[in-house]
Amino acid sequence: MADEELKRVRTQLKESLTEPMIKQLLDDLNDEKVFGEEEVESILQKNPERADRARCMIDSVTKKGPTASRILIDKLQKRDKNVYDKVGLHKLTVGPPPTEDKPMNKRVKEVSSSSRQENFSPSPRQHEKEEYAMSSEPRGVCVIINNENFTNPENNRQGSRKDAVALEEVFRFLGFKVNMHKDLSAEKMKEHMLEYSKQQHDGDCWVCCVLSHGNSECVLGCDGNLCPTEDIFSPFNGKNCPSLLGKPKVFFIQACRGSKTQEKLLVSDDAVTSDTGKEFYTIPKDSDFLFAMSTVDGYKAYRSSEEGSWFIQSLCRHLREGSEGGDDILTVLTRVNDEVSKKEGKVKDKQTGEYYDAKETPISSFTLRKKLIFRKP
């Protein structure tokens, strides 16, 4: 793979690249959206020596995977064939280029209109791993936003600190750098997300946990204003945050998503329900996301003032156990769904004063392209 080839010639390449060539390659990588402008400036400003700049550029590209590495190799071949040959990249073996399918638009239209299945084969992704890398030190950044105390004291979320502490402990255990933010206004949440998205992310993964009140499409700031979840997620897509392109971006949200309560039904344990000639490839800007919500749309989520929320406490326990067993995140979340769905409690309705049966079902959606396994260091 291209990233392995870059690692193989790293030392020779670092010594061979001139200062003008490094800057030219950085411009090329910026044009190809491998690096954002902030990343380029960071490499130049933090590494005044030529060799350090070269090393930082090479290492940053290899961390982004084979696609980014292939782009750098191709640009080097175009810019400086002598160095390309000297370090041995000319020996890199690649498969035959895919044939160009010019009438693509027509083929897509035909499939859409008649629902016929065409014998269309996408370009092969040679030797692509089926699992996201999870070996960087630290693994990445885990941001926790714990909105516990609100302008209106009636909205205070007793017990939320238990969740924040549990999340901090488990993600430190998993090798992440943890940044804790407490009692943020809606505007501050948006600002923090934008600030984080502009940073250089050298880790293999990004995690964000939000603990607050909410509704179908928003979470509540401590000032009582609503922050759309889209303003939390979108800053980290591949276009807005290039340094996380191709890396998993995971969001855990503990918040109500409506005022409805879920009906409980009796089920037995054995119940069955049916109801251009280059080897690199492109991915949509919204790839590699995972969103795990404490409850389905329109319904309440539950939290104990003494023990924390059902969802977060179950999540932290199964994340730790799953990491030790090598389980992928979807397996972990399935176990969380099972455990939380079986819980029930009695909750007093604030308006009527009567008690009702509390039930909760977490829900997840994702655009992950590979298995995501949180491996502890």
Amino acid at the residue 39: E
Q: How would you classify the pairing of strands 226-228 and 205-211?
A: unpaired
Token digits for 70? 């292939």
Cα gap 97→63, rounded to integer Å: 25
User: Are 232 and 210 spatial neighbours (Cβ–Cβ below 8 Å)?
Assistant: yes
Q: For residue 242, is the peptide bond before it cis, meaning its omega torsion is within 30 degrees of 0?
A: no
φ and ψ of 53, to 5 deg: -65, -45
Residue 309's SS3 state is strand
- Backbone CA torsion sign across 51, 52, 53, 56: positive
**Contact assessment for residue 229 and residue 218, using Cβ atoms and an 8 Å cutoff:** yes
Q: How far apart are the first and last CA of the chain?
A: 25
The rounded distance, in Å, linking the Cα atoms of 256 and 175 is 29
Which sequence positions are flagged as catalytic? 213, 256
> How buried is residue 261: exposed, middle or buried, by Cβ count under 10 Å (0-12/13-18/19+)?
middle
